[in-house]
Amino acid sequence: MAIVLYAELIGFAISLVGIVLLLVALMRKQYRAMWFKTAMWTFCIIWPLGTPLLIGIVFSIIVMIYLSKHKAEFTNLTTSPN
Q: Distance (Å, rounded) from C-alpha 38 to C-alpha 30?
A: 15
Residue 65 confidence (pLDDT): 93
Mean confidence (pLDDT) of the chain: 81
pLDDT of residue 64: 92
Quick one: which of 71, 80, 79 has its CA closest to 37? 71
φ, ψ for residue 70 (rounded to 5)? Answer: -105, 30
pLDDT over 70 (residue 54): yes
